[in-house]
Structure 1
């Protein structure tokens, strides 16, 4: 039997009206009570019944957005694109961050649903082979199949298995372009400092890396692969380790933050970029232009990703058409050559996309 709003109120030690106010945001609720209600919702696996609340068919003008982080520049630009469109339509954005943690992602989904959103945009890092990841997938499936008809857009990841429409960049092709660029420079011992192995985006980028090596007749060497979080400290520590163990002349970084950390490690060890080791990142965040040498990168249009996702979501909400989950929308990427791979390059400092 599915838990009810009364069960949530009882476990949280509050009134049913307090639970309702936390869900809808119609009235102020003290932070400690909000936490108790949300903890109870997560513990009971409570999902509100739209029929019981009398809200079926009614628009609440609320958009739920679930992203990995506020602080990562890439994701903040996605949010900026979403926000720009929502503000123009006087829509409320309820934003939740998962820190790429599957348990937190599951909780975010459940809490997001309590606000009765008209639609949801999610950047999911769930793995259906793991407990909480499987719960996330199950939740997404139940939402897409419910009579409430809450459309969901997945960004950064193709998720046809749960019946949601996807808007993303071709991460495999982008990685292929990045490594091809290094190969054209005459580099052959190319390391790859990646994100965590469990992430879908990591596997896509690894696939592009391997394909580029294969197309150039360069054998794949697993010893040149390192994994870790999408943070500068991963780039720094793994670059230091690679320099003590492997003879490398280039690095493909899983994102620009990793690349920035790797450049610092190379310089701290006494090597030169790009003379000794060329390096290219992915994402095109502005901090890559502030370091020396400036970081070559693959431009992933994060702002446009957010804007395209919310525009499509609003189309689904307004028209109530069924999402085309078998045909993802791909946004084009492009290579931006800077001094970390080519010292002769002096591109203009263009911040128009940031």
Structure 2
């Protein structure tokens, strides 16, 4: 049996094994490994020889809980393949790397219960921060439970950061990094209305999701501002994927074929809508105009290139990480703020990117 296997019940040496083999206290081994305390050269050599012999690996998690080690940020995302919030995760990870922090990524699968369970797990793991990406299903139980987790994280020296969703209600120790979602939809709907469109098929996203609610509200507000009746029958809720865009347009062409434009909740939904229009022999934008939301790289790769709302996703990720780092260092995050106290709310702007997918309507409205 090897020396390595003789140690511990699972073959992994512990700091107590190192101390026993070296004939010193656990505290002495800890001082040598941390490098933060003066120790004799003879003690350092003796301990490090045993460390090599036993193939001992320092438990970074235990060091983190003790206030040392490398800070870790947990990024919880609905779907790791989703292009928009993958850019947020990239921003968080990039900013974390610059600071020498580690990043973990977990997926929630659009399941509120799994999201809450992962937040609780990360709290138990002692991470520096938990960053939640994407919209939330805004029901009371979710708000109450997430507020409890935020306070629990705070008590453990960690912090909750919400990205791309509304802040929690009340005085909750959580940072929100948001973008002007409703105003982006308002600007995009206004762009269509100013081009002469009056019958617009709106695909805001899943019913009940805060992101979709904001986009629908912005679109309705634009119609009201222009004095144009808004037809709820032209609103089709569904997932933020191309399959929904395709199916929704196909159904609308059968049920309410007089629409002249499509306002898609994301660029991916817009891509599916374009495919459905082409399948029916309709041209974009000659017959039907179409716009998206997000301004992911796909938007400029479509034919025609997609007019859309630019959201600074990667910058949101960087701001989120900076907010956590600033909090740990005792400085305040920069950016436009709403409210104050423990519930910091940072808001980034959006803007319309005009490309080639909108034209004044030619079809009879």
TM-score, normalised by the number of residues in structure 2:
0.74
CA shift at 1:99, angstroms? 2.1
SS in 1 for 2:65: coil
Q: CA deviation at 1:138?
A: 3.1
Q: Could you tell which deviates more after superposition, 248-257 or 56-65? A: 56-65
Q: Name 2:161's counterpart in structure 1.
A: 153
For residues 320 and 335 of structure 1, the distance between their equivalents in structure 2, rounded to whole angstroms, comes to 33
Q: Does residue 305 of the first structure (1) align with residue 316 of the second (2)?
A: yes
RMSD: 2.6
Contact 1:101 1:125 (8 Å CA) reproduced: no
Using the size of structure 1 for normalisation, the TM-score is 0.76
Find the aligned partners of 1:134 and 1:151 in 2 and give their Cα distance.
17
**Deviation at 1:69?**
2.0
Structure-1 separation of matches of 2:265 and 2:92: 24
In 2, Cα distance between the equivalents of 1:133 and 1:178?
Answer: 30
Counterparts in 2 of 1:188 and 1:91: CA distance versus 1, 3 Å: same
Distance 1:83 1:164, change over 3 A: same
| Stretch deviating more after TM superposition (160-169 or 53-62) | 53-62
* Cα gap change, 1:229 to 1:54, in 2 (>3 Å): closer
* Contact residue 85 and residue 133 of structure 2 kept, 8 A: no
* Residue aligned with 1:226, SS: coil
Question: Deviation of residue 321 (structure 1)?
Answer: 7.1
Asked if structure 2 preserves the Cα contact closer than 8 Å seen for 1:274 and 1:342, the reply is yes
Task: Identify the match of residue 98 of structure 2 among 85, 88, 94.
Answer: 88
Alignment map for 1:109-124 (pairs within 5 Å): 109-123=119-133
8 Å CA contact 1:122–1:155 kept in 2: the answer is yes
**C-alpha contact (below 8 Å) 1:80/1:303 kept by paired residues:** yes
Q: For the pair shown, which has the larger CA radius of gyration, 1 or 2?
A: 2
Unmatched runs of 5 consecutive residues or more in structure 1? 1-13, 18-51, 344-354
Flag the 1:339–1:230 CA change in 2: closer, same or farther, 3 A.
same
- The CA distance in 2 between the partners of 1:158 and 1:164, in whole Å, is 11
Give yes or no for contact 1:151–1:317 (8 Å, CA) kept in 2. no
Is the contact made by 2:135 and 2:164 (CA closer than 8 Å) also made in structure 1?
A: no
Q: Check 1:251–1:324 CA distance in 2 against 1; reply closer, same or farther (3 A cut).
A: farther
Describe how 1:272-311 pairs up with structure 2 within 5 A.
272-311=283-322
